[in-house]
Structure 1
Amino acid sequence: MSALLGHDPDYLRRLGAADTAREIAQQPAVWRQIGRMTAESCAATAAFLKPLFDRPDLRVVLTGAGTSAYVGEVLAPSLRRRLGRRVDAVATTDIVADPLACFAEDVPTLLVSFARSGDSPESVTAPELASQVLTECWHLVVTCNEQGRLASRHADGSALRVLLPEAANDRGFAMTSSFTGMVLAGLLTLGGPDEALVERLATAAEQVLATGPGAAADLAARGYSRIVYLGSGTLHGVARESALKVLELTAGHAVALAESALGFRHGPKSVVNEQTLVVSYESNDPYTSQYDRDMVAELLRLVPERNLVTVTAQAGQPASGNVWGLPGIADVDDAALALPAVICAQLIGLHFSLALGRTPDNPFPGGEVNRVVQGAIMHPLPPTPARASG
């Protein structure tokens, strides 16, 4: 039986890590499937989107909860530049809690809903509230679960559904291939198909998967109690997702924080001590990356060099020492860079979980936190007065 991320699959199964490890490892193959799928459906996608994008006043809102919300945070900056229009990332949890604030402007809106299962209460309720409070609202659903309530409620042809390959519907607790799959599907659906780019990203990811497990295991063996992820612009969303992976996979036994390079100086840097690992994502944008490098230089004066890892496409080699390289993609947009970059965090989260004696596939066997969120009561929105359009 072939090794899985450098481990015997039976060994990982005994540790309760086989699903998570497999889903991390399968990502290049899943991305290639998504690349082909979006290319094959581009005519139908264009027929739905072009009339909307022809409207200069259209607002695009990217929404989801938890990891699915970070999909929108990664995509929004890139799509603003590509589309030359307003694109906002707004979590479903914010929409449900205060829909009139999230949609204060009654303007034509395309709501793009990202969800792994599509069965969490907020995933289902947020699109309903958007349609309730907006005069004109269209729906694009990107999900890994065709049988979920979100996909089922938008199956009548009035919305555009992007259904990811079945493999992307992760069985493990933490979202891994579902996250990168939805980022890629959103990027290619809204920004245009690009199979050549997908192949480059998949190749870079395969090199990270070849060298990253050993580097991640080495970090986990050092006994860090805190991890900080730093990322600027688009990569701030990647940093937030990375921190969440550590919290989820270790069941909160390793504390994780995410910040931007500039924002880190404004108080959050207080978390750094000798037990802190700092992982800095370097932007591919030459202007933005200056701030990332400045922070790395500053941190090297404060912490041991071994406590600081830089993830960058500007290095020529994969994971080695304190620089984890993403070969062959030094010129891609940061939203695309996010896909192989976040695999580094997934590997770190997995190995920290194993080092702490947790079970990554189900870090909360007592049900304190669930794979599909439970317990949230959706309250009906009272009737609201008619609003003037924006």
Structure 2
Amino acid sequence: MTTDATTPTDDLTSATHDEVRQQPQAWRDLHRVLQGRGPALRAFLDPLLARPDLRVVFTGAGTSAFVGDIAAATLRRPLRRRLESIATTDLVSDPRTAFAEPRPVLLVSFARSGNSPESVAAVQLADELAPEAHHLVITCNARGRLALDRDGSGRSFVLLLPEQTHDTGFAMTSSFSTMLLAALCAFQEDHLGAVEQLAAAAESVLERTDAVGELLDPLPHRVVHLGSGPLKGLAQEGALKVLELTAGRTASFHDSPLGFRHGPKSVVDDRTLVVVLGSADPHTARYDADMAAELRADGTARVVHVGADGGFAVPHLDGLPDGLRAVALAVFVQLLALSASVRHGCTPDDPFPAGTVNRVVQGVRIHALTGGGDA
């Protein structure tokens, strides 16, 4: 049953709602964690990053993979080195391609529970196939297999996030944003100075929870998220959140503003909401504005330009690169998906009561690596 989409205030009482709202405090708690573990983390990372032959590969499954997409796109420019994001779901199914280069690897694993079969297997495959593998595990669960297996093991560092980020709800929310912030700060220590700014930005969005929900009036049957550069990863996460929390009742899509014209724009009709995630880069922002203006001129879809003048403005983000902006803007896409879930009559903490989709993936068989292909 679909709830009345004209209701001004949604009943958002759930663990998922609490976990969305706790994010500013979780980031402040992360700041303390990183201050305490900073010297040990630097002692692990700095010698590795000084090696020109080192590959840095970010990995995770689903939402955790999008953390890697955003982090890699954010850090390439300031670190001036190649950073890759390869989902564990790709790495495990085709490991010889993922580790084709005979170079040492730093595998940065993102994991809410640390118990996903692909996450555990990806680490093992790196050890087996890379000539020299090092591991940075960023996880929310001290009792997960990744944390337990890698804590204290050679060539590994486990960065355990504040306990509350181990979300109990179905969807990853505070785990997503806090893992992303942890990665950005781990590789660029000066990003720690942005934590209060990000918390203030997120709190300004949380204060307008009702206004975010009203963007769904009337309830769309399709939602599109668009973003460029690091924000493309957030667009993908926004699309997944809508799909997950509405149990597929709302079809969701993602793309870049430029890429959207090349066929995917076909999805737009008069029951489509398009979310354009505004970039802080002046060059990139022109393409965001062009796409938003074009869609409005078409007169079909409803368009919300997030973080832009004349759209859904988010204060306190001035001067921050898009990767850090994504941490705060994650709160917007989560609130939108949560409100859509409630309006569809779903239970956000358990949108799939039949168990067809699960909080921690089930049913995965990890197959032993056998002969075939290149050795």
Are 1:372 and 2:360 matched, yes or no?
yes
Contact kept in structure 1, 2:20 and 2:331, CA below 8 Å? yes
Find the counterpart in structure 1 of residue 276 from structure 2.
280
Partner Cα separation in structure 1 for residue 288 and residue 217 of structure 2:
27
Partner Cα separation in structure 2 for residue 107 and residue 386 of structure 1:
16
Find the counterpart in structure 2 of residue 340 from structure 1.
328
Find the counterpart in structure 1 of residue 178 from structure 2.
181
Contact kept in structure 1, 2:201 and 2:317, CA below 8 Å? yes
Q: Could you give the per-residue CA deviations for residues 300-359 of structure 1, whole angstroms, max 9, x where no partner exists?
A: 111357x100111x54xxxxxx72111121210111000111211111101111111010
Amino acid at match of 1:296: A
Are 1:191 and 2:188 matched, yes or no?
yes
Partner Cα separation in structure 1 for residue 43 and residue 260 of structure 2:
44
Find the counterpart in structure 2 of residue 318 from structure 1.
none
SS at match of 1:325: coil
Residue 50 (structure 1) shift: 1.2
Are 1:103 and 2:99 matched, yes or no?
yes
Find the counterpart in structure 2 of residue 30 from structure 1.
26
Aligned length: 367
SS at match of 1:139: strand
Find the counterpart in structure 2 of residue 227 from structure 1.
223
Among 67, 78, 81, the residue aligned to 1:82: 78
SS at match of 1:366: coil
- More displaced 10-residue stretch of structure 1: 172-181 or 374-383: 374-383
Amino acid at match of 1:140: L
SS at match of 1:110: strand
Contact kept in structure 1, 2:9 and 2:213, CA below 8 Å? no
Q: Could you give the per-residue CA deviations for residues 239-265 of structure 1, whole angstroms, max 9, x where no partner exists?
A: 000000000000000000000011000
Amino acid at match of 2:240: L
Find the counterpart in structure 1 of residue 69 from structure 2.
73
Contact kept in structure 2, 1:35 and 1:193, CA below 8 Å? no
Among 118, 139, 148, the residue aligned to 1:152: 148
Contact kept in structure 2, 1:31 and 1:202, CA below 8 Å? yes
SS at match of 2:172: coil
Among 306, 326, 339, the residue aligned to 2:314: 326
- More displaced 10-residue stretch of structure 1: 192-201 or 170-179: 192-201
SS at match of 2:254: strand
Find the counterpart in structure 2 of residue 207 from structure 1.
204
Partner Cα separation in structure 2 for residue 221 and residue 363 of structure 1:
21
Contact kept in structure 2, 1:76 and 1:88, CA below 8 Å? yes
Contact kept in structure 2, 1:24 and 1:346, CA below 8 Å? yes
Residue 386 (structure 1) shift: 9.0
Find the counterpart in structure 2 of residue 290 from structure 1.
286
Amino acid at match of 1:255: A
Partner Cα separation in structure 2 for residue 291 and residue 111 of structure 1:
33
Residue 287 (structure 1) shift: 1.1
Find the counterpart in structure 2 of residue 351 from structure 1.
339
Stretches (4+) displaced over 3 A? 383-387
SS at match of 1:153: helix
Residue 98 (structure 1) shift: 0.2
Partner Cα separation in structure 1 for residue 79 and residue 138 of structure 2:
19
SS at match of 1:381: coil
Residue 195 (structure 1) shift: 3.5
TM-score norm. by structure 1 comes to: 0.91
Find the counterpart in structure 2 of residue 311 from structure 1.
306
Partner Cα separation in structure 1 for residue 53 and residue 311 of structure 2:
44
Partner Cα separation in structure 2 for residue 231 and residue 293 of structure 1:
11
Contact kept in structure 2, 1:228 and 1:243, CA below 8 Å? yes
Amino acid at match of 1:256: S
Aligned pairs (5 A) from 1:5-44: 12=12, 17-44=13-40
Partner Cα separation in structure 1 for residue 228 and residue 373 of structure 2:
40
Find the counterpart in structure 1 of residue 247 from structure 2.
251
Residue 196 (structure 1) shift: 2.6
Are 1:117 and 2:110 matched, yes or no?
no
Partner Cα separation in structure 1 for residue 373 and residue 39 of structure 2:
40
Q: Could you give the per-residue CA deviations for residues 51-102 of structure 1, whole angstroms, max 9, x where no partner exists?
A: 1111011110000000000000111011111211110000000000000111
Contact kept in structure 2, 1:114 and 1:143, CA below 8 Å? yes
Are 1:300 and 2:296 matched, yes or no?
yes
Residue 194 (structure 1) shift: 3.6
Contact kept in structure 1, 2:19 and 2:174, CA below 8 Å? yes
Contact kept in structure 2, 1:115 and 1:123, CA below 8 Å? yes
Residue 217 (structure 1) shift: 2.1
Residue 127 (structure 1) shift: 0.7
SS at match of 1:111: strand
Q: Percent identity?
A: 49
Find the counterpart in structure 1 of residue 4 from structure 2.
none
Contact kept in structure 1, 2:185 and 2:192, CA below 8 Å? no
SS at match of 1:300: helix
Are 1:381 and 2:356 matched, yes or no?
no
Partner Cα separation in structure 2 for residue 386 and residue 98 of structure 1:
12
Q: Could you give the per-residue CA deviations for residues 211-256 of structure 1, whole angstroms, max 9, x where no partner exists?
A: 1x11222123312000000000110000000000000000000000
Find the counterpart in structure 1 of residue 5 from structure 2.
none
Contact kept in structure 2, 1:35 and 1:194, CA below 8 Å? no
Partner Cα separation in structure 1 for residue 297 and residue 370 of structure 2:
56
Partner Cα separation in structure 2 for residue 272 and residue 7 of structure 1:
27
Contact kept in structure 2, 1:231 and 1:239, CA below 8 Å? yes
Contact kept in structure 2, 1:39 and 1:193, CA below 8 Å? no
Find the counterpart in structure 2 of residue 137 from structure 1.
133
Contact kept in structure 2, 1:234 and 1:335, CA below 8 Å? yes
Among 159, 164, 183, the residue aligned to 1:167: 164
Contact kept in structure 1, 2:104 and 2:132, CA below 8 Å? yes
